[in-house]
């Protein structure tokens, strides 16, 4: 059975930091480090998000990522589809025609139409997709904002800003320029 992997969870957590314009344009490495997850794993996520038009890469010394659309225009389903592809929740193996009672020649009634089990799974998948389509990054960000003390956002912005300044300084030092 296909399912939603941790890529979606990591991707959404990273995207939530891009909702806040005061967080700048953090790199995928900075977002991974901020959350204690693998930078190489996050680096594989962002090209998929970029290809789907969810984020834009910003080139240059202060480069990183920013949202390509407003957060209310990016649904959770958009992120799921970008990172997982549009794959079914359930893959029917069509075992109806393997009943031992009928050996190798099942009657037509046994295999006509959609399998009842598959039909239920299709309904469940449609309900899940509808729910994910209704939720967007803006509503998720507001939920997180209600749960987290305001000082936390300031600390994260400062941390990301510090990472960006260090990156700029290191690149300038390597090239012999003033930061």
Instruction: Report yes or no on whether pTM surpasses 0.75.
Output: yes
Please report which residue ranges of the chain form alpha helices under DSSP H.
6-19, 28-35, 39-51, 76-84, 108-111, 116-134, 137-147, 150-175
Tokens at 19, concatenated: 């909702």
Q: Is the distance from CB of 29 to CB of 163 less than 8 angstroms?
A: no
Greatest alpha-carbon span in the chain: 82
**pLDDT at residue 26, as a whole number:** 93
What pLDDT sits at residue 170?
64
Q: Measure Cα distances from 78 to 71, 99, 134, 169, 172 in Å.
A: 11, 40, 11, 36, 38
| CATH architecture of the region 6-89+136-175 | Orthogonal Bundle (1.10)
| Tokens coding 50 | 């970029």
Q: Please report, in tens digits, the pLDDT of each residue of the chain (179 residues total).
A: 357 889 999 999 999 999 988 888 999 999 999 999 999 999 999 999 999 999 999 987 777 999 999 999 999 999 999 999 988 878 878 877 777 777 778 888 878 888 888 899 999 999 999 999 999 999 999 999 999 998 998 999 999 988 888 877 666 566 666 55
């Amino acid at each position: 059975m296909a399912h939603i992997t941790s890529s979606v969870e990591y991707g959404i957590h990273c995207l939530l930091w891009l909702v806040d314009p005061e967080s700048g344009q953090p790199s995928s490495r900075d977002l991974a480090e901020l959350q204690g997850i693998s930078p190489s794993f996050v680096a594989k996520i962002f090209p998929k998000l970029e290809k789907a038009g969810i984020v834009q890469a910003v080139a240059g010394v202060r480069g990183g990522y920013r949202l390509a659309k407003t957060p209310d225009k990016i649904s959770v389903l958009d992120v799921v589809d970008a990172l997982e592809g549009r794959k079914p929740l359930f893959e029917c193996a069509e075992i109806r025609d393997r009943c031992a009672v009928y050996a190798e020649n099942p009657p037509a009634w046994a295999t006509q139409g959609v399998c009842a089990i598959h039909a239920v799974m299709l309904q469940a998948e449609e309900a899940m997709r509808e729910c994910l389509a209704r939720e967007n990054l803006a509503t998720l960000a507001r939920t997180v904002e209600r749960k987290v003390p305001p000082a936390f956002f300031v600390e994260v912005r400062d941390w990301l800003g510090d990472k960006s300044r260090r990156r700029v300084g290191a690149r300038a030092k390597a090239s012999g320029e003033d930061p």
